[in-house]
Amino acid sequence: MPAHDGWWGFVFGRLSYDALPFYSAIATTAASLVVIGALVVAGLVTWTGRWGWLWREWLTSLDHKKIGIMYVVLSLVMLSRGVIEGAMMRAQQAIALDNPGYLPPEHFAQLFSTHGSIMVFFMAMPFLTGIINFALPLQIGARDVSFPLLNSISFWLTAGGAGLIMISLVIGKFSTGGWSGYPPYTDITYSPGVGPDYWIFAITLGSIASTMTGINVAVTIYKKRCGGMTLFRMPLFCWTSLCTAILMIFAMPPLTVATGLLALDRYAGMHFFTNDGGGNMMNFANLFWLFGHPEVYILILPAFGVYSQVISNFSSKVLYGYDSLIVATMCIAVLSFTVWVHHFFTMGQSADLNAIFGIATMTIGIPTGVKIYDWILTMFRGRVRFSVPMLYSLAFMVLFTIGGLTGILLANPAIDYQVHNSVFLVAHFHNMLIPGVLYGMIAAYTYWFPKAFGFQLDEWWGRVSCGCWVTGFCLAFLPLYPLGLMGMPRRSQEFFEPAYLPFTIVAGIGALFLLAALASLFIQLVVSVRRRAELAVPAGDPWNGRTLEWGIPCPAPEYNFAVLPIVDARDAFHAAKKDGTAYPAHRFYSPIELPKNSGVGVVFGLALAAASFGLIWWMWWLVVAGGLVALGALVARSFNLDTMRVIPAEEIRRQDEAFLALVHRTPQVSRDDEAATTNMGLAEPAGV
């Protein structure tokens, strides 16, 4: 795709009319929906006069809760595109027997590349980051994260990367090199278009953001815990968040290096990964999977923490095997860096090396099995309530165990050699990531939604959505196991073996259930918003919570705690309820200092996204302008000394006393009535 001469080339680089998505009706329709959707949202905000409110209350906020909510909103938007693209691929394969179908090969290749990139980097990562952002400071009794501005910058870098992927649907084409972007296929020789460049810069922005998030979360846990909150009194979710943060700090930089070196290959004529130029493609593979396998546990560990919270809460029992769960989490974090070579079992290294990494891969299943048994024993003789988060947890334990067993099979190099490039592998990693990550994040979204917005999500629609997610997963991905054993290659746009067809049809039906699950998730949100008055839980404890966040109002105030708690037990709020000290009548109030809003994160993140867009299309003026604006925002911030505001003690006292008065006049509800409209946020205390 050559650059243009003259003023057009200076302003627009290599961008031309050919970049518009008119190469197929499907691409045109998809791009039109994105553009129309963006215009509708902008029009609604303008019509309601909410731009100023949106800027002040959300976009520039440094409140960890609002940043966490924005992360989750971003992830739900990207989840929508990811699920739709996955359904399109399943629909193509359902009719692909001796039939080119409705997706041309290049378009199909774009779909599996964008689907994987979106679901890993811009759905799962923002979802778990948002949940950690929202819940973690509340659980450790903190007012905010350690670096609020860095938190905002991290979010806007992530949003900028997601924006580049959305723009690629409208201008140009995305990479066809898969979510891993292996050269030499993504090298300039074989892919001279803008697709790999979109992938490189979107992933780079996201990886830098995740590295900064890891630093922020780790420092927050080390430095911001309330009085008495020792490490071994922290909720399990905090432990899994800490291990996740450490993994982010050490695993994301290899990815950033890999994408940076690939960019130098493409833009500066380097040969880091081209064999004929003195490089080695395996250097990229090693860098990518040095990130890639720890990334699996970056995704799964926060979900493990969520399941630990949910299972304990809805079993009305203390979490069984707390210490062993912590040890298992740390073992998983360490072992995750020792297994990356199992992705190379088919690439020709020695049998001894394969055996070593096969054993390491099998070993990592042991601490995961410990967790499953601990969760089962937590439920044993508990008073289990089958609310929506608990349903996701139960589905996870069954389906994730199946996926784990197939992982043990793939840890055997001989078996992996046979099925590595088949849909058996597709079934395995979806078997880990959908029940393991997506179910956990939706469970967390449902569990903490009242703390974010002050009302519960509609229970009936939540059950419908859960049923569709589970049914859809089983139908869409379990048939891929026998298909893989039969030899069906992954990434197949068309096939010629009649025996594959019944399984691909079942998988296509499963994709319809997944679309229904996505739709019902949004219907649940709309119905809940319309019923928010009757679903309100202002007293703050709708689930009979065990951890500190359930002792404050719903929604949580901007300062989190009127008085920072001092704890002397694990499950501190549950212990306080048992002792009758959960809602003290008299407290000493002090002024609270909070960070002022800042537009630096918005400007910095979007300016770098604009510079990246300029690099993709060779608009060098935009590269320079975006870089200067981003640098200028940081420099300007360094001269701003007025960055904090103070909430007077009298205002805090007034709000806290009003909350305590509300709690004292709110009737308690039994555990069986938690989903009823009589639940105003004061659940009956559990006995264990």
Rounded distance between C-alpha atoms, residue 563 and residue 652, angstroms? 9
How is 572-626 classified by DSSP, letter by letter?
HHHHHHHHT-SS-S------EEEEPP-SHHHHHHHHHHHHHHHHHHT-HHHHHHH
Closest CA to 434 of 500, 478, 493, 377: 478
| Cβ atoms 30, 169 nearer than 8 A | yes
How is 371-421 classified by DSSP, letter by letter?
HHHHHHHHHTTS-----HHHHHHHHHHHHHHHHHHHHHHHTSHHHHHHHTT
| Cβ atoms 594, 645 nearer than 8 A | yes
All domains of the chain in start order, with CATH: 49-536 (1.20.210.10)
Farthest-apart Cα atoms in the chain, separation:
78
User: How many Å separate Cα 9 from the centre of its chain?
Assistant: 38
Per-residue confidence (pLDDT) for residue 633, from 0 to 100 = 96
Per-residue confidence (pLDDT) for residue 645, from 0 to 100 = 95
User: How many Å separate Cα 504 from the centre of its chain?
Assistant: 28
Rounded distance between C-alpha atoms, residue 183 and residue 187, angstroms? 5
Per-residue confidence (pLDDT) for residue 682, from 0 to 100 = 86
Q: Which two tokens stand for residue 475?
A: 């139908």
Q: What is the DSSP letter of 458?
A: P
Q: Which two tokens stand for residue 535?
A: 């679903």
3-state SS string over 257-303?
Answer: HHHHHHHHHHHHCCCCCCHHHCCCHHHHHHHHHHHHHHHHHHHHHHH
Per-residue confidence (pLDDT) for residue 344, from 0 to 100 = 87
Closest CA to 616 of 114, 31, 191: 191
pLDDT per residue over 447-464, tens digit each? 999 999 999 999 999 999
Low-confidence ranges of the chain (pLDDT < 70): 1-5, 686-688
Closest CA to 131 of 445, 427, 483: 445
Per-residue confidence (pLDDT) for residue 580, from 0 to 100 = 84
Rounded distance between C-alpha atoms, residue 310 and residue 313, angstroms? 5
Q: How far is CA 351 from CA 146, 344, 406, 408, 456, in A?
A: 47, 12, 21, 18, 55
Name every residue whose Cβ is closer than 8 Å to that of residue 623 and which is 6 or more positions away in sequence: 611, 614, 615
Rounded distance between C-alpha atoms, residue 654 and residue 423, angstroms? 60
Closest CA to 237 of 640, 460, 549: 549
Per-residue confidence (pLDDT) for residue 350, from 0 to 100 = 87
Per-residue confidence (pLDDT) for residue 180, from 0 to 100 = 92
Cis peptide bond upstream of 555, omega within 30: yes
pLDDT per residue over 306-317, tens digit each? 999 999 999 999
Average pLDDT of the chain? 93
